Amino acid sequence: MKFDTLIVKGIEAKHNPHKAIIPPIFLATTFVQDGIDEWQDFAYSRSHNPTRDNFEDLFARVEGAKQAFAFASGMAATSSVFSLLKQGDKVLLNNNVYGGTYRYVHGIFANQGIEYELVDDLNVIDEIDDNVKMIFVETPSNPLLRVTDIERIANIAHQKGALVVVDNTFLTPYYQRVLSLGADIVVYSATKYIGGHADVIAGVVATNHEELAERIQFMKNTLGATLSPMDAYALIKGLKTLSVRLDRQAENTHKIIDFLTQHSGVKAVHYAGSYSDHERAIQQKQASGIGAVISLALQDGYDSKIFAKSLELFDLAVSLGGVESLICHPASMTHESYSAELQDKIGITQGLLRLAIGIENAEDLIADLNQALDKAKI
């Protein structure tokens, strides 16, 4: 089945009780067993739950993975992946990753005897040290939308037996299939585009490696950061409209990029592939779209605080991926865990603003940006 059909018809009604079009929500915490040594498929919902299993099975098919695991948040999903590491290991990450990911590696790795290094541009790496056991890639990155060549990084990592993990939150499997590019694990904040309606906190991990899958399942069950049945149902429902939402959001995004790049009050617009011709070529090679997140900086003589406050259709809020358009200030909202020095080095300036484009009418969104820019001129 094509992607659009699979996300709608992937859970077949004929396999549900009473042939229900929508799979039921099983809220039970525990399940009756037929007898000692007569165990059923489900025993306790922290370990497995029929509704959550329905989502995980569907998402594995959507991702092109053998197994997928649903977590209570994107950070719970990322934490489970980092649990694969042991004392003495080292992790490479691109330097502008999600602030929560940086908070984890900066605040927890040292206690576990794990090293990490933030790399300005993973695309220039030709080899890695023997103690590097994982390369964690966010592409396009947050919030500067830098692009990393997944296939090239995978080839380099696998020569030394290192794992490649890709945070694919911004593009989803609809625009970028990272496992087919050589990544060992893909991780998502499903709070964003997978859910798509800003009403569920969730994360997903998927892989084709059985040993890695067993370890991730072990950590999910042991640490208990599993997704509730209600939230699993919300993801099933959200996933059904992923392609139509992203297509509309991407269409709006291209129109907004065109407007902003031509406005005299805008100094820079960042989007996937905008950094250089090389990154644009990588993006076009490994993805079918640029997504719906961009960031921008205003020219001198424009006040970014007035601009953000003057917007009427872009709500000032963290997160992204819902049908609503949002604006955020990365330096103080999503990446506040970065030191001021590190923010400056990476390019997360006080004037940088991130836009998450929704499904509203593009003309209305552009008009809103235009009037806010007029008000922001000082």
CATH number, domain at 129? 3.40.640.10
Is the same domain home to 175 and 298? no
Pairing mode of beta strands 163-167, 132-138: parallel
Where a domain ends, among 239, 258, 284? Answer: 239
- How many domains does the chain contain in total? 2
Q: Are 229 and 49 in contact (CB under 8 A)?
A: yes
Q: Please, which pLDDT band fits residue 142 given cuts at 50, 70 and 90?
A: very high
The verdict on 323 and 182 lying in the same domain is no
Quick one: 215 and 267 in the same domain?
no
- The residues, any chain, with a CB within 8 Å of residue 183's CB and separated by 6 or more, are 137, 150, 154, 164, 165, 166
Q: Are residues 94 and 153 in the same domain?
A: yes
Same structural domain, 162 and 28: yes
- Residues 308 and 219: their CA atoms lie apart, in Å, by 41
Q: Are 225 and 353 contained in the same domain?
A: no
For tokens 């090293």, the residue is 115
Sorting pLDDT into bands at 50, 70 and 90, what band is 1?
A: confident
Same domain, 256 and 367: yes
Question: Which of residues 239, 273, 291 is at a domain's end?
Answer: 239
| 78 and 22 both lie in a single domain | yes
| Active site members | 46, 98, 167, 192
Q: For the domain that residue 284 is a member of, what is the CATH number?
A: 3.90.1150.10
218 and 250 in one domain? no
Q: What are the tens digits of pLDDT across the range 222-267?
A: 999 999 999 999 999 999 999 999 999 999 999 999 999 999 999 9
Average pLDDT over residues 305-334: 96
Q: Which of 174, 100, 112, 107 is nearest to 138 (CA)?
A: 100
Q: Is 175 in the same domain as 291?
A: no
Are 234 and 332 within one domain?
no
Question: SS3 of 136, please?
Answer: strand
The domain of 312 spans 243-376
- Condensed to tens digits (0 to 9), the pLDDT of residues 16-53 reads 788 888 889 999 999 999 999 898 899 999 999 999 99
Q: Which residue has the higher pLDDT, 121 or 340?
A: 121
CB of 163 closer than 8 Å to CB of 86: no
DSSP letters, 69-119, are EEESSHHHHHHHHHTT--TT-EEEEESS--HHHHHHHHHTHHHHT-EEEEE
| Co-location of 260 and 182 in the same domain | no
- End residue of a domain, out of 219, 239, 259: 239
